[in-house]
Structure 1
Amino acid sequence: MQADTITTAYRSDPTVFDPRMDPFDYEQYCALILRNAGWDAQATKQSGDQGADVIAQKEGVKIVVQCKLYSGTVGNAAVQQVYTAKTHRGAQAALVVTNSTFSASAREAAATTGVYLIHHAQLADTADEVFRHFKYS
């Protein structure tokens, strides 16, 4: 006798990380992490965002975040785009957040531009570090 198996299709949920999630839901997920850390954070509209997927503010400190839900390596184009968004939006800091890893060229570009390259598990702590640096310096 064969056991009956029920298969349900995966449904993306921006409140729970899953590598299969929709990329826009990943942006919403990153914004939620920041909101839970005390930031006023919103995902931008899906096009024309000038490299900022999430814009967050806290007591006059603004950060821009590019969110990369990848199975591969995140390259330096993400660094260039979020650095441009930082300038365009008048933010104090720019972050590229991923569930994956960064290429050597992305790390080199980040080292010269000051862009933070982090895993989403580090997002709240890194944002708070940025806040303390700019708020109290």
Structure 2
Amino acid sequence: MPKEYKSNPLIFNEQMNPFDYEQYCALLLQNGGWDAQATQKSGDQGADVIATKGRIKIIIQCKLYNTTVGNSAVQQVYTAKKFQEAQAAVVVTNSTFSKSARQAAAATGVYLTHHIQLVATANKIFSEKN
């Protein structure tokens, strides 16, 4: 009998629960030198992770998907960026982004990235905004 999968925020797995994925993304950023915390599970205004370094604050929405991520994620994180008075907003996923998400991101300045590139994207933002 196969062992039942147990979600762990320290190890990426497509079967992990979405809250552990948020923790996983926060840990990636922490390991990359950012002060990053996953937010509470509700009332976060679209911010799943808030990362700061120096005077730069980034709002991150994490999407653990097995389909493409649509433009609603871009709209939500853009709103969260304004609400949190942050310098940048990112949608991070294990998947890909729809054409409409890419168009919305281009119009709003929201960054789209795979979690493998999350720290590099955050550091790019830091360099651009600092």
Partners in 1 of 2:100 and 2:12 — Cα distance? 27
Equivalent residue letter for 1:104: K
Equivalent residues in 2 for 1:1-137, closer than 5 Å: 6-135=1-130
Note the C-alpha offset of 1:7.
1.7
Percent identity between matched residues is 65
Equivalent residue letter for 2:13: D
CA RMSD of aligned residues (A): 0.6
- Which 4+ stretches in 1 moved above 6 angstroms? none
TM-score normalised according to structure 1 size: 0.94
Partners in 2 of 1:91 and 1:37 — Cα distance? 19
Greater C-alpha radius of gyration: 1
TM-score normalised according to structure 2 size: 0.99
Partners in 1 of 2:116 and 2:37 — Cα distance? 18
Partners in 1 of 2:97 and 2:37 — Cα distance? 24
Note the C-alpha offset of 1:134.
1.2
Q: Secondary structure at the match of 2:92?
A: strand
When the two structures are aligned, how many residues end up with a matched partner? 130
Partners in 2 of 1:115 and 1:133 — Cα distance? 14
Note the C-alpha offset of 1:43.
0.2
| Structure 1: runs of 5+ lacking an equivalent | 1-5
Partners in 2 of 1:132 and 1:78 — Cα distance? 24
Note the C-alpha offset of 1:133.
1.1
